[in-house]
Amino acid sequence: MSTFVLLPGAGSDSWYWHRVVPMLEGRGHDALAVDLPYADDNENQDSYADFVVAALGDAPGPLVVVAQSMSAFTAVRIAERCAVDELVLVAPMIPAPGESPAQWWGDVGHEDAQREQAVADGRDPDAPLDIRELFFHDIPDAVTEEAFAHEETRLSDAAFEPAWDAERWPDVPVRVVAGRRDRLFPLPFLTALSRARTGVEPVVVDSGHLVALARPSELVDILLGVQTHGVSGGAPPGRGDAPRGPR
């Protein structure tokens, strides 16, 4: 059995994984959904990784780090600090060595890609930001209302720093999960980014950006390497018995 450490996206918290955790545990795995100190102006991506490594302790079994969106920048740092058996990046900001989350948007041409997809979908690319339309367009109503009733996590500017101080990716198997209907990171954009930065073809799920809220059972099947209807691409998960401890 594996230990899955689940990292929330920017400005979110462990609640984001509340539909996934019981499914993983029900299938005999350990699931640790963490709260990253996004609101703390004295913390940043480097200290987030230190926090997670300290929280892991002697976590049993193969360790799989699952990162939503911006927390991909945290995940790669965790893989540099301890023995990780696999990284699974979900609707991710896929980092490049030497890049910070603040730099990422311009480096990858995100604004143009998002605009092009909005036009292709028949949506107004100049419409004011609507969080429900951008992130919750495919989320069940009850889950959406619970999300908006949930206390909002303040996002410090420090969360977008510093640059990832690395020369190359850690030597860890990587899978990327992309949402076919993601309005923030459109599928063609994320597919090209994944190929360029990881050499990996994304596993595609019929979801928007918030995969764990929209399609939790499909995501769990992906994490466990189970073939599911409506899911395409990707490779089976890596598994190993490397001991915990600093690298």
Instruction: Supply the pLDDT for residue 151.
Output: 83
Q: Do 165 and 80 meet the contact criterion of CB atoms below 8 Å apart?
A: no
What 3-state class would DSSP assign to 90?
Answer: strand
Q: What is the pTM for the complete model shown?
A: 0.91
* Residue-wise pLDDT tens digits, 30-41: 999 999 999 999
Residues in the chain: 247
Q: Which range (8-12, 152-156, 183-187, 198-202) has the least confidence? A: 152-156
Domain boundaries, the chain: 3-223
Q: Which alpha helices (DSSP H) does the chain contain, by range?
A: 21-26, 45-56, 72-81, 101-107, 110-121, 131-135, 141-149, 187-198, 211-214, 216-223
The chain-wide mean pLDDT, for the chain, equals 91
The pLDDT of 179-186, averaged and rounded, is 98
Express as a percent the part of the chain with pLDDT over 90.
86
Express as a percent the part of the chain with pLDDT over 70.
91
The CATH classification number of 3-223 equals: 3.40.50.1820
Q: Which long-range contacts link 103-112 to residues 24+ away (Cβ below 8 Å)?
A: 103/163, 104/73, 108/189, 108/193, 109/189, 110/185, 110/189
Q: Is the pLDDT of residue 140 over 60?
A: yes
Q: Is the pLDDT of residue 186 over 60?
A: yes
